[in-house]
Chain A
Amino acid sequence: MVDDKTHDRILEVENLSVEFSTYGGDVKAVRGVSFGVNRGETLAIVGESGCGKSVTVQSIMGIIPMPPGRITGGSARLNGMELLGLSAKESNKFRGVQIGMIFQDPMTSLNPTMTIGDQIAETLRVHRNKSYKEASALAVELLEKTHIPEAEKRAKQYPFEFSGGMLQRAMIAQSLACNPSVLIADEPTTALDVTIQAQILELMSELQRTENMSIILITHDLAVVAKMADEVAVMYAGQIVESGAVDDIFYHSSHPYTLGLKKAMPRNTGERKQKLMPIIGSPPDLFSPPTGCGYFARCPYAMKICETRQPENFPIVQDDDHHAMCWLQHEDAPVTKELHQNHASIDHAG
């Protein structure tokens, strides 16, 4: 174990802000997001559509179209090296090499006119200066690593000849080509059936162990988070509203939005079924984000201050890695029944 956790940080993102220019004005898609990823661990970024989770990782990878996109502030350092604002040539040196990425829809992310083997070999030729022959042989090895049966034969096939699950394996094989230290997986199993999802998640965990990779998992599915994550960041309206170790997020939920997500899902605890509690309303308009808390309009616990002042990112006492951006964590806030609050927990503990 490393004494100082920051030494084990492989990727550190600070105060990242991203805007998109549209005809309707500027959309503030990401509003000051900070997080870190430790070596060999999985960070899950969870949130609903439009919360900015994909834009966050795409900005780090340098793959948002600019214009209309614009990184308006912040930094992202991989092993101390700044990634934001690199030229196209410079970012090609880390993109796909030190950070690999897989996407939700493997069918549209792979080239339909190239064989699977050639696509993986291309990565190896470009980034690792392999000859065509070497690269092709390595591509087959990579396919075997992701447990694709008859890898040699499959390498000569085109994407349309693969099922969704097999394509996702092929994409993982391609992303592993340069032994990346970080793998970004953007909703990797959303398009897959539950049995195939289990296979792909199992494969990702296995590769993480053998390659000592860090994974950033983007998902909307709390069940996938529970299965995969070490650390969790919950995003809402372009901000991380709660972050911490997976158990803290699930068992000591400290932001009303996290609690709301949990209560909107059915739980399979043999007891009597509890009625699902939807989150009423919709996320705020990010053309003109609210001055106060983004969740104010939907929050069952909203207070007066929430409307006008942006909450601070309060640490939750028992673990300084657990933070929630919510005024209810202020020591003067009233104690609520279901929410885990730092000042309330002292009383319970005492």
Chain B
Amino acid sequence: MLVKTEELRKYFKIGRGQRLHAVDGVSIEIEQNEILGLVGESGSGKSTFGKTLIGLHARTSGEAFYNGQRLPAKFSSEDHLHYSQELQMIFQDPYSSLNPRMTVLDIVGEGLQIQGKHTRTQIRELVAQWLTKVGLNSDHMSRYPHEFSGGQRQRIGIARAMIIEPRFVVCDEPISALDVSVQAQVINLLDDLKKSMGLTLLFIAHDLSMVRYVSDRMAVMYLGTVVETGPADDVFFEPQHPYTQLLIESNPEPDPKSERARSHVPIKGEITSPVNVQPGCRFADRCPKVMEHCHNTSPPVVSTSSSHTVACHLFA
């Protein structure tokens, strides 16, 4: 196992003594060379989890382990320098995540430059190699981000993360800003890199079909907690948790016949606020199968098979 968290929590103080429970006790494990897909609605805490895991946020409580070592709760600048050689991140927005005043050479080569192990010429060579690997041209090195399309910028972001040759990469919605035809290019690129570099990925997205396609295993988050984990196909085709079932039911397919056959039961309600959360199951207010004690006691995590877990009172 390469990455592991135990009851990881991240709260944000939002004034007036209130705290926002962005991530509230997440325990997951990611095997070496595995892609774990993390799905959930906006506000479910999936991005915060990814960032906290690799030290971009200091965690409030809980533990995070990488390769058997305990990661510090709050990264010092030495920690950042040390761990950034192994842990990297690809961001959602290809527009705001690249410094508009830096050339592609400086953006992609910055990590190597900070490491200080390479000469300027070596960095140039490596940047050229990586630009070609992600499907760009080495002539693009002296250009600025605004000269590229969204898909090309996302490749620059990928090259920037991969040039370090990390072992674990958090991909935070890497394709949601891209057109369909370009999404496929980026997904295939990540898949190739996973195979050739032996990478381990946490793939955060809200596009269920894409997560199912990319991932080996899938975890579903709701209001800061993981409600279900399991092999991607099991979770997608045999969802156990009422929330996962609701998500999959809402996910339209590019197939008119199966859409016409779908039952048209609109799902009520919206994700609630993670401020001042009540005890009990987070999903109780929207759950169609809610029971009395769901409102009072947190659901236990139950294994429905050797690799599939559900946090729900229905299975207790």
Chain A residue contacts of B262, Cβ below 8 A: 227
B284 proximal to A (CB < 8 A): no
Which of A296-323 touch B at CB < 8 Å?
none
Chain B residue contacts of A205, Cβ below 8 A: 264
Chain B residue contacts of A196, Cβ below 8 A: 41, 270
B30 proximal to A (CB < 8 A): no
Which of B20-46 touch A at CB < 8 Å?
41-42
B255 near A266 (CB under 8 angstroms)? no
B304 proximal to A (CB < 8 A): no
Interface footprint category on A: 35 or more
Chain A residue contacts of B185, Cβ below 8 A: 278, 280
Instruction: Say whether, besides A267-B254, A268-B209, A276-B188, A261 and B270 are in contact (CB < 8 Å).
Output: no
Interface footprint category on B: 35 or more
Comparing A105-113, A218-226, A284-292, the segment that makes contact with chain B is: A218-226
Report the minimal beta-carbon distance from A203 to chain B, rounded to whole angstroms: 8
> In the complex, which of the residues A193, A202, A261 contacts B42, with contact meaning CB atoms closer than 8 Å?
A193
| Chain A 142-169 interface mask (CB, 8 Å, partner B; 1/0) | 0000000000000000000001011000
Chain A residue contacts of B253, Cβ below 8 A: 223, 226, 267-268
Instruction: Say whether, besides A202-B264, A224-B252, A246-B256, A193 and B206 are in contact (CB < 8 Å).
Output: yes
23 contacts between A and B (CB under 8 A): A166-B270, A194-B208, A194-B247, A196-B41, A198-B266, A202-B266, A222-B254, A225-B254, A226-B252, A226-B259, A246-B256, A247-B256, A250-B255, A250-B256, A251-B256, A264-B181, A265-B180, A265-B254, A266-B212, A268-B209, A268-B236, A270-B237, A278-B185
A262 near B264 (CB under 8 angstroms)? no
Chain A residue contacts of B249, Cβ below 8 A: 198
A275 proximal to B (CB < 8 A): yes
> In the complex, which of the residues B149, B180, B266 contacts A222, with contact meaning CB atoms closer than 8 Å?
B180
A235 to B252, CA, bound (A): 21
A275 to B206, CA, bound (A): 20
Q: Chain B residues in contact with chain A, CB under 8 A?
A: 41-42, 149-150, 179-185, 187-188, 206, 208-210, 212-213, 233, 236-237, 246-247, 249-259, 262, 264, 266-267, 270-271
> In the complex, which of the residues B184, B213, B255, B267 contacts A195, with contact meaning CB atoms closer than 8 Å?
B267
A60 to B247, CA, bound (A): 36
Chain A residue with Cβ nearest B213: A266
A193 near B212 (CB under 8 angstroms)? no
Instruction: Say whether, besides A195-B41, A226-B259, A279 and B181 are in contact (CB < 8 Å).
Output: yes
Which of A17-34 touch B at CB < 8 Å?
none
Report the minimal beta-carbon distance from B214 to chain A, rounded to whole angstroms: 8
A48 proximal to B (CB < 8 A): yes
Instruction: Say whether, besides A48-B181, A195-B267, A268 and B256 are in contact (CB < 8 Å).
Output: no
> In the complex, which of the residues B213, B246, B257, B267 contacts A276, with contact meaning CB atoms closer than 8 Å?
B213
Instruction: Say whether, besides A193-B42, A282-B149, A223 and B252 are in contact (CB < 8 Å).
Output: yes
| Chain A 20-54 interface mask (CB, 8 Å, partner B; 1/0) | 00000000000000000000000000001100000
A250 to B41, CA, bound (A): 28
Chain B residue contacts of A49, Cβ below 8 A: 150, 179
B181 near A260 (CB under 8 angstroms)? yes
> In the complex, which of the residues B208, B212, B259 contacts A227, with contact meaning CB atoms closer than 8 Å?
B259
A205 to B262, CA, bound (A): 14
Chain A residue contacts of B271, Cβ below 8 A: 193
